[in-house]
Structure 1
Amino acid sequence: MPNKLCMAGAGSGKTHKVITESIAEIKRGGKVLVVTYTTSNQQELRRRFLDIFGTHSDRFVVKGLFSFYLEDMVRPYQQALFPRRIDGICFNQRNPHMRPDSTFMLPGRAEQLDDKSYNPKHFLTPCETKAHTGFLAKLASRIMKVTKNSAAVRLGEIYTQVFFDEVQDLVGWDYEVLKGLNKVMPTPITCVGDFRQTVYETTFGQKAPKTAAEKIAAFKSMGFVYESLTLNRRCIQPICDVADAVHNGTYEATESAVKEVPPEFVHHLGIFIVKESDVPEYTKVFDPMVLRWSVTSGAKLLPTEARCYNFGGSKGLGFNRVLVLPTENQLHFVLDGRKPFPAKDETAQNKLYVAVTRARYSLGFIVPDKKAAGLRFPIWAKAPA
């Protein structure tokens, strides 16, 4: 069976696909491993499995990406590089080899020592018992090379099906690990994700692939069979159309599976411009979920009672009504959808896609009053006093 890359658009039911295929494999007598990045998605996978299967099973294993690297790829074979047991991981929010608030590297952190052996200070904390998360994939890759992909062989002996979820967030060295698994492991691998929703990075450095195009090309070069899920079970069609336009038609068009709208939402459907001066009234009338870049965005604009999520934090969630506070770069799309995002703004582009696809029935964009006239979306008008 060939390894597959499943491009699952927002709201297309990727979690349902992973769970139902896992259950089918378990019923055939197999054992399934699902590797995913975020803690929230790990919890959601376990919850959905329990809902559908009806009970827990030790043949359905969910692991975080970093736990997978440490427990399955590094620790069983670490003696090939480092003799001291690596007990855990150190979560890196920035490159641990860089001086704080500078671009200068700390001394003694090179990957290899003068004798060409691997430097523990490059991969591990000073106590040498914890691995840096930003370099775990690189460490796993180095160990795979030295041990002739022993970890991949072992995984194939334990599991009969492996899923990698949220693969859009993998970069650089993560793909070296995938290459090793793809080359050796007989167990079928299914990678699931949506490169339009890339808002995290799992490693440091400039190693390719980093962009969506580079990642898709990497899967093609490994021989993964392409599959696409384009039916959106969350958003009404007008919202799907706006979401598709964020990436300027680069991906397959999305079709809404929402055919009926609850009566309480019928009076306010679709996409709207909300003038900044009307934001307090709009949030009072509709109580939308406000999506913004960061906790400081719109501090003086948004009412204190407004419910808010950051763009990245809203991944995987859905809300009946959404109000988006665009950044300056994202506002260009709102004002004129024909203007593409510059290549360097891929993160802003992807976060806007995530925000748009959280909305089920109505989507509002906050726009300065002086820019709100003559746009492609109707302006929401509050009722007269």
Structure 2
Amino acid sequence: MPDNQLTLAVAGARKTQGIVEACVAAPPQERILVLTYTTANQDELRRRIASQVGLRPAIEVMGWFTFLIRHFVKPALPFVYSGVRVTGFDFDSMPQQYASNDAYERYFNSEAQVRRVHLAQLATRISDASQNAAVACLSRIYDTIYIDEAQDLCGYDLEILLRLMKAPIALHMVGDVRQAVLLTNEREKKHKRYQYMKIWDWFREQQKKGQLHIEQRAETWRCRQEIASFADSLFDASWAFTPTTSINTACTDHDGLFLVHETDVPAYLEQFDPLLLRQSANSAKNKPYDFMNFRVSKGLSRLRVMIWPTSNICKFLQSSTRLEDRAAAEFYVAVTRAEQSVAIVLNTPGESPIPYWRP
């Protein structure tokens, strides 16, 4: 079996840094491709690799969409549509629900720009039509492919992963399904049952088939133990996640979890200057504060965080009412931005054992 690995690592486990360190340790002649979805993560990977590895032409960092266009669509498009070339990338097109899977218009707009919404499906069709020529070519270009934030992949992206798993290339993926709050294509119906946190089921299925080895890394360098344990409690035991262990032993004059009454929020902000988070604008209407949304905060690390909860988060705190998977993932992202303290605005504690902070 090819060397296919997934490292499922908790928030603060230095997932991205692990890829950088692997690039540092790699022999100079090893040809490495590093893939990720978001532009911010691409920029961060390029910056870290440049600073720690230096100029090494054999290491490339590339976005997932660029990867599909450059290595699947452009070189082998004639296998599906002869006499056609790609002129650009259409990020915004809606799903072409009235165009058949064989129709050129499904995949390209009137300016011959390939549509993001059906890009992975087109790449899969081209791969099959060319008898996996694109994957064979990749194996001659690269020795190792790393995929960061692998939980963001969905739909036909999983079909591409299956083809990569069968290639003579070492495939190493890292991610955290507990932070599955983004998707490469939210509108894709293919493999819909594996979207967001449910991609964990798909990964485990591949492991059962012998196509993937999964390792869980449960040490966080970011969050104090009480924060990490609280974040673990957001998910039912049926997920079978390894409990998180904190490496953070720092102590300050304000550590751990706290509830804050809404009337005390101005005093808390003035004293501790936390990162103030909300699920969306609807969950903190008419509040005179400078918020960041949960999903946008993904990847950040701050000394202190304050969270304006949704009604469902309030119920979870007050009576242990389980959160829906996606809501739990977003709340997990918010909680695990914090190194030393998490404050949650809640006027009525219910059964919550978390203590109140008072000015």
TM-score, normalised via structure 2 length: 0.92
| Per-residue deviation, 1:45 | 0.7
Structural mapping, 1:236-385, within 5 Å = 236-249=224-237, 250=239, 251-261=241-251, 266-303=252-289, 306=290, 308-337=291-320, 339-341=321-323, 345-367=324-346, 369=347, 371-372=348-349, 374-382=351-359
Paired AA for residue 181 in structure 1? L
Distance 1:271 1:224 in 2: 37
Paired AA for residue 302 in structure 2? F
Question: Secondary structure of 1:96's match?
Answer: coil
Distance 1:350 1:234 in 2: 18
Structural mapping, 1:1-385, within 5 Å = 2-27=3-28, 29-53=29-53, 55-82=54-81, 83-92=83-92, 95-97=94-96, 105=97, 107=98, 109-111=99-101, 118-127=102-111, 129-183=112-166, 185-203=167-185, 204-208=187-191, 209-210=194-195, 211-220=198-207, 221=209, 223-249=211-237, 250=239, 251-261=241-251, 266-303=252-289, 306=290, 308-337=291-320, 339-341=321-323, 345-367=324-346, 369=347, 371-372=348-349, 374-382=351-359
Distance 1:182 1:213 in 2: 17
| Per-residue deviation, 1:374 | 4.8
| Per-residue deviation, 1:222 | 5.7
Question: Secondary structure of 1:246's match?
Answer: coil
| Per-residue deviation, 1:87 | 2.1
Q: Percent identity?
A: 32
Distance 1:150 1:141 in 2: 11
Distance 2:330 2:52 in 1: 31
Distance 1:311 1:126 in 2: 37
Question: Secondary structure of 1:228's match?
Answer: strand
Distance 2:143 2:115 in 1: 30
| Per-residue deviation, 1:296 | 5.0
Paired AA for residue 46 in structure 2? R
Distance 2:314 2:38 in 1: 28
**Regions of 4+ moved over 6 Å:** none
| Per-residue deviation, 1:95 | 3.2
Question: Secondary structure of 2:33's match?
Answer: strand
Distance 1:174 1:134 in 2: 11
CA contact (8 A) 2:317 2:351 kept: no
Distance 1:373 1:3 in 2: 47
Question: Secondary structure of 1:259's match?
Answer: coil
Distance 1:274 1:302 in 2: 16
For the aligned residue pairs, the C-alpha RMSD in angstroms reads 1.7
CA contact (8 A) 1:275 1:372 kept: no
Q: Which runs of 5+ in 1 are unaligned?
A: 98-104, 112-117
Distance 1:141 1:124 in 2: 15
| Per-residue deviation, 1:85 | 0.7
CA contact (8 A) 2:33 2:62 kept: yes
Distance 1:189 1:161 in 2: 6
| Per-residue deviation, 1:33 | 0.2
Distance 1:120 1:362 in 2: 53
| Per-residue deviation, 1:37 | 0.4
Q: Which runs of 5+ in 2 are unaligned?
A: none
Paired AA for residue 333 in structure 2? V
1:100 matched to which residue of 2?
Answer: none
CA contact (8 A) 1:320 1:362 kept: yes
TM-score, normalised via structure 1 length: 0.86
Residues 283 and 236 (structure 1 numbering): CA distance in 2 closer, same or farther, change over 3 Å? same
Residues 374 and 8 (structure 1 numbering): CA distance in 2 closer, same or farther, change over 3 Å? closer
Paired AA for residue 255 in structure 1? T
Distance 1:196 1:359 in 2: 16
Distance 2:162 2:199 in 1: 17
CA contact (8 A) 1:7 1:229 kept: yes
CA contact (8 A) 2:32 2:60 kept: yes
Question: Secondary structure of 2:242's match?
Answer: coil
Cα deviation code 1:20-75 (max 9, x no counterpart): 11222243x1110011001111111111112222x222111011111111111111
Distance 1:346 1:357 in 2: 16
| Per-residue deviation, 1:302 | 3.9
Distance 1:271 1:302 in 2: 23
Distance 2:314 2:94 in 1: 31
Paired AA for residue 24 in structure 2? I
Cα deviation code 1:269-299 (max 9, x no counterpart): 1001111222122112111101112245424
